[in-house]
Amino acid sequence: MRYYKEHATEFEMIATGGCYGAMGLDTTKFRYKLFNISRNNQDFYYKYKVAKFIFKQNENGRHLKYALTEISPFIFHFDLSKTTIVNSILEYLITFDDIHNFWLPIEEYRKLFREEFLNTRLPLENIDLNNLFYQKADYPKCMDLNSRINARKRIDILTKNKSYPETVKENVKIFDDYLTLCEENNVRSIIFHPPLHEAFMRYFNREALNEFYTLLGEVLKKHPSAVFFDGWKLKGLSSDEYYSDVDHMNINYAAKFSTILNDFIENLEKG
């Protein structure tokens, strides 16, 4: 966020999202310069927090044209602060001094860490804008047999017995606020669902998927300028060679998908 604050005028697009957005976008393939602040486990709440920060840096220049937002088929049921992923929550505590619905009061959370740690400032030199959090190197270049064998287990971990109506209600409201924020800043929203391996699509619960599309449609009806790009409908790109595992694109496919997404945006401009 400090890097963006210092270089805001250079960027015409931003991207928020979770690991699918972080892994699935190649910033070098877009016509407009893209700042991809997608991060593992980024939920709707923190997407919105990031976007508000970024738009604030653009109040005078209005440099941004597009806001890309990655969403997954289980995103409406996900609240990072209600999970056990404490390291990710800590990142947002340090960045925004905000832990949302985390069970431990923020004052107590701060007591767990030395003040100098919470105020750590990483160097901004030599940042790789196409791999902002240096996570792409951690993923395999090709999906292995073990990932395919465990595909059903992986999907169950993400979705089984995870129905949270109150979280859904809050996330729908936050998503609506996010799109309103983009409109107020004259930034067009491009919401995209990343491509996922055919095994993911085969095993994912149909009822949950239908709910996802219904919720998405209800929000988008209120925001006609926002558009949705559905990566699940891309044909012929769901085999092992394009993925690191059952639900993460590899580097080569990220480049290919980003080219497709860029072409989609350019076609929007042509009308």
Q: Where residue 83 falls among pLDDT bands split at 50, 70, 90?
A: very high
The single-letter code of the amino acid at 229 is F
pLDDT score for 266:
95
Spatial separation of the C-alpha atoms in residues 10 and 174, rounded to whole Å = 28
In angstroms, what is the C-alpha Rg of the chain?
A: 18
What is the pLDDT of the chain when averaged over all its residues? 89
Q: What is the secondary structure of 87-129 as a DSSP string? A: HHHHHHHHHHS--TT-SS-HHHHHHTS-HHHHT-----TT--T
Spatial separation of the C-alpha atoms in residues 171 and 45, rounded to whole Å = 7
Q: Supply 6's token pair.
A: 């210092």
CATH number of the domain enclosing 139? 3.40.50.1110
* pLDDT (mean) for 4-13: 93
What is the domain count for the chain? 1
* pLDDT (mean) for 234-246: 76
Spatial separation of the C-alpha atoms in residues 247 and 21, rounded to whole Å = 11
Which of these, 236, 73, 241, 235, lies nearest to 168 by C-alpha position? 73
Spatial separation of the C-alpha atoms in residues 229 and 265, rounded to whole Å = 10
- β-pair type (243-245, 227-230): unpaired
Q: Where residue 215 falls among pLDDT bands split at 50, 70, 90?
A: very high
Spatial separation of the C-alpha atoms in residues 32 and 25, rounded to whole Å = 13
* pLDDT (mean) for 15-39: 94
pLDDT score for 118:
79
- Do 175 and 219 touch, CB atoms closer than 8 A? yes
pTM, to two decimals: 0.91
* pLDDT (mean) for 228-248: 81
- Structural domain including 120 reads 2-270
Spatial separation of the C-alpha atoms in residues 255 and 260, rounded to whole Å = 9
Q: How far apart are the first and last CA of the chain?
A: 33
Q: Supply 236's token pair.
A: 């012929």
pLDDT score for 60:
60
